[in-house]
Amino acid sequence: MTKSLQGKIAVITGGNSGIGLAIAKRFVADGATVFISGRRKEQLDKAVSEIGANSIAVQADVSKIEDIKHLFEVVKSSKAFKGKIDILIANAGTGGFSPLGETSEQSYENVFDINVKGVIFTVEEALPLLGNGSSVILTSSIAAFKGLQGSAIYGASKAAVRSLARSWTADLKGKGIRVNVVSPGPIDTPMFAQVGEETTEMIRQMIPLGRIGEPEEAANVYAFLASDESSFLTGADIQVDGGLAQL
Ligand code: NAD
């Protein structure tokens, strides 16, 4: 039986950890070749050794346009590249706790430079390499549409991501390029671990499904949006959150 992503080329920013790493593993298992980018070389090397064959690491900071250009130059000049990026996952992101009255200019810039500017220029720079049939998937968060204490700046940055997808869906009319969003709820990754055990337990009790999600459960949703199974979906936003956003 043919695998669902057989022969596809995927680029995953933040593919060296958490959700991005789980996506990379799943895509390779489904037959794709993946380019993963991240800031830290050590973490990238470790990720590639875990993912195995058909994974290529590129060190690139998404808050720097030069680094993003470098990422796509590497993709374009690689032997695996056959003229088109089939799947682009703008997933790299950062958290940040910013209770009202305590937001610094630096923390605001850090969150928006990575979560908004990073997503904008990942897609802008990839555009010449996308084509009919390409699937673009952006990582937002349930913090985009749910009031969570201390999450105003992060939530605003992720709301911007959802808005970008809506406008890009319109901009790409007639081009056959789909743009969808995944909005994870609490998923067990290094980023989520930063909230600490006490907060994790409090959040767990709020979730209708009664537990924190696994990165692989998020990756399943990306695999669906990347594949032809979702061929008539564009501009959609899928929440993978155990029902948390419904409360
Ligand atoms: P993680 O910390 O494991 O992964 C974050 C990834 O982003 C890492 O690979 C990191 O290298 C990369 N990254 C961060 N800053 C970067 C930069 N400047 N340039 C390039 N890469 C950079 O966390 P995760 O939970 O897997 O996060 C992945 C995405 O999911 C993020 O966009 C995050 O906001 C979103 N998200 C996560 C959760 C959750 O509960 N885990 C919930 C909602 C949304």
DSSP labels for 188-207? Answer: -SHHHHTTHHHHHHHHHHHS
Q: Is residue 244 part of a domain?
A: no
222 a catalytic residue: no
Q: How many angstroms is it from 37 CA to the middle of ligand 1?
A: 11
* Residue 207: inside a domain: yes
Kindly state whether residue 17 falls inside one of the protein's structural domains: yes
* Residue 88 Cβ < 6 Å to ligand 1: no
Residue at 20 is within a domain:
yes
- Where residue 154 sits, what CATH number does that domain have? 3.40.50.720
| Predicted pLDDT at 197 | 95
Ligand 1 site, residue 242, Cβ cutoff 6 A:
no
Q: Separation of 2 CA from ligand 1 center, angstroms?
A: 31
Digit-by-digit pLDDT tens for the chain (247 residues) are 789 999 999 999 999 999 999 999 999 999 999 999 999 999 999 999 999 999 999 999 999 999 999 999 999 999 999 999 999 999 999 998 889 999 999 999 999 999 999 999 999 999 999 999 999 999 999 999 999 899 999 999 999 999 999 999 999 999 999 999 999 999 999 999 999 999 999 999 999 999 999 999 999 999 999 999 999 999 999 999 999 999 8
Joined tokens for residue 140:
């937002």
Dihedrals phi, psi of 83, to nearest 5 degrees? 105, -15
Q: How many domains does the chain have?
A: 1
Enclosing domain of residue 194 = 9-239
pLDDT for 97 equals 87
Q: Is 154 helix (H, G, I), strand (E, B) or coil?
A: helix
Place of tokens 């895509």: 27
What is the DSSP secondary structure assignment for residue 79, as one 8-state letter? Answer: T
- In the chain, the DSSP E strands lie at 9-13, 33-38, 55-59, 87-90, 135-139, 178-184, 237-240
CA 225, CA 223: separation in Å to the nearest integer? 6
> Is-contact 123 14, C-beta < 8 A?
no
Greatest pairwise CA separation for the chain in angstroms: 57
Which numbered atom of ligand 1 lies nearest the CA of 16?
A: 9
Residue 134 located in a structural domain? yes
Length reported for the chain: 247
Instruction: Identify whether 58 is part of a domain.
Output: yes
Residue 215 falls within a domain, yes or no? yes
Do 213 and 22 touch, CB atoms closer than 8 A?
Answer: no
The Å distance, Cα 142 to ligand 1 centre, comes to 14
Residue 4 lies in a domain: no
Q: And the tokens for 165?
A: 């997808």
